[in-house]
Amino acid sequence: MIATSQTEAYPKTLNPYLIWRRRFGQWVVRRIPPSKNIELHLNNIFIIPTMQGLGFCFVLALMFIGAINYETSLAFALVFLLIGVFILAIFYTYRNLSGLHLSGLTDGSVFVGENAEITIIVNRHGKRTYEAIELGFEKSRKVVANLIENKEQRLSLFVPTLKRGQLNPGRLRVETFYPFGLHRAWSLVDLDLNCLVYPIPIECDLNILNTSDRDGGKVNITRGNDDFYNLREYQPGDPLKHVAWKNFAKGQGMYTKQYSSNIDDKIWLSWSLFSELSKEDRLSRLCYCVLKLDASGVDYGLDIPECVIEPNKGIAHYHSVLRALALF
């Protein structure tokens, strides 16, 4: 799935650079398959001299011409020494990534337009230390990891979300220029991040729900919300604002307040509710409804093509409904 979306990112074109980039992207995907925990090594680190490195070569060439012209042995020796430094730097730069372990964490879900926080965990095993490793997605800022005394570092990256569905921030670019900035060692890894982007909620008139009862019964969500009915024992997932805190404070245990309107009222969020709107707009309205219904503690179900979720409530239900909307 990632592979296809990666190809989608590059439109068909005859620009050789873009063709090359696309080919490279496909090749990288084949070469470095997604994984929750990736260790960087010979097969997934690329290395190439930087402009600064080419500049260094140019200076060396000038020095070499000087050494020839003035016939100074030690100048030759020094140029050769610096050639050695240039070559060694390749291996040092490579070493600064090799053996590094990467994994990623996300906070699960965001709405379109919010920045998804992705926590990258870098850690090292053994004595080798790592310095100045830049991490970043194509659309995020870069952060720098240094593992010198510590074994592990957690870094937060914020990726803007543009589309609902599975978050696809592209591949994480891990790169380093250390020690001399003459070479760039980098890797493009897919940490198999699991982050859903829910549709952006767009406000709508909730009264529309009153007429949309599938069973034909009248449900009035805007009214009766506050009619206290009784207490039942708290179950994980109940909205916290419905917890009977007074009782809890008296030391009587945790109870959830139940209201008249949500005892057996079941609201169906149906695909036909906003039939005059486009697909994305419908999803956004539904998303808004879900947020509101969840806050009010009503049982609600989802009925969209190819996905029917029985009315329920609680955080797990809330997320499964939003998930269905996100992936629709």
Partner 1 sequence: MNIFNLTKGKPKEFTRSSYLVPRTSLAWILCSLVAVILPHVVRMPIWLVLVCALCIIGRVLIFQGRMSYPGPIVKTILVVLILWLMVAQYGRDVFATESTVAILIVAISLKLLEMHKKSDVIMVIYLCYFTVIAEFIWSQSIPIAVYILFCILLISAALMSLSQTEEYQNPFRTLKLSALILLQSIPLMLALFILFPRIAPLWSVPLQSSTARTGLSDSMSPGDIGNLIGSDELAFRVKFNGENPRPAELYWRAITLDSFNGREWSRGFNIEPQFLGAGARDDRAWFQDIEFQGDILDYNIIMEPTDNNWVYSLKIPQVLDERMIMRRDFQVDSIRNISQRFSYDMRSYMNNRLDASLNQRELRQWRRIPSGSNEQSFEFAVNLREESGSDQAYIQNVLAYFRSENFFYTLQPALLGANPVDEFLFNTREGFCEHYASSFTFLMRAVGIPARVVTGYQGGEYNPYDDTLAVRQYDAHAWSEVWLQDQGWVRVDPTAAVAPDRIERGSQFVFQLEDVFLQDAGLSLLRFRNSLFLNDLRYRLEMIDYSWNRFVLNYDQGMQFAFFSSLFKEVTREKIIVTALGFIFFSIAIMVFFVLRKPSRKELHPATDLYLGYCDGLAKQGFVRARGETPFAYFDRLRNLKPAWSKQMCDITDKYIELVYKRPGQLNHPDDVKEFKNKIHQFHMLLY
For partner 1, the binding residues (CB under 8 A) are: 52, 55-56, 59, 62-63, 65-85, 87-89, 91-92, 94-95, 98, 112-114, 126-128, 131-132, 138-141, 144, 146, 148, 160, 162, 177-181, 200
Tell me the sheet residues that pair with 102: 38, 122
> Least distance in Å: CB of 321 to partner 1?
22
Contact by Cβ (8 Å): 205, 275: no
What DSSP assignment string belongs to 237-281? TS-GGGB-HHHHHTTS--EEEEEGGGSS-EEEEEGGGGTTS-HHH
CB closer to partner 1 out of 86 and 192: 86
Residue nearer to partner 1 on the CB measure, 79 or 304: 79
Q: Which is nearer to partner 1, 113 or 253 (CB)?
A: 113
CB of 177 or CB of 259, closer to partner 1: 177
Distance CA 315, CA 233 (A): 17
What is the smallest separation between the CB atom of 205 and partner 1, expressed in angstroms?
A: 21
CB-facing half-sphere around the CA of 19: CA atoms within 13 A: 4
Name which of 142 and 232 has its Cβ closer to partner 1: 142
**What does the radius of gyration of the chain's CA atoms come to, in whole angstroms?**
29
Query: b vs e for 69-100, b when ≥16 Cβ sit within 10 Å of the residue's Cβ?
Result: eeeeeebeeebeebeeebeebbebbbbbbbeb
In the complex with partner 1, which residue's Cβ is closer, 157 or 298? 157
Residue 162 beta carbon to partner 1: minimum distance, rounded to whole angstroms: 6
CB of 4 to partner 1, least distance (A): 22
Query: Given the complex with partner 1, which of 112 and 244 has the nearer CB atom?
Result: 112
- Sheet with strand 130-136: strands edge to edge: 46-49, 183-189, 172-176, 130-136, 143-147
Distance CA 321, CA 328 (A): 11
Cβ neighbours, 10 Å, residue 163: 13
Single-letter residue type at 61: A
Give the nearest distance from C-beta 181 to partner 1 in angstroms: 4
Shortest distance in whole angstroms from residue 84 CB to partner 1: 3
**Shortest Å distance, C-beta 172 to partner 1:** 16
Q: C-beta of 66: minimal distance to partner 1 in Å?
A: 7
The residue with tokens 């695909």 is 271
Residue closer to partner 1 (CB basis): 19 or 77:
77
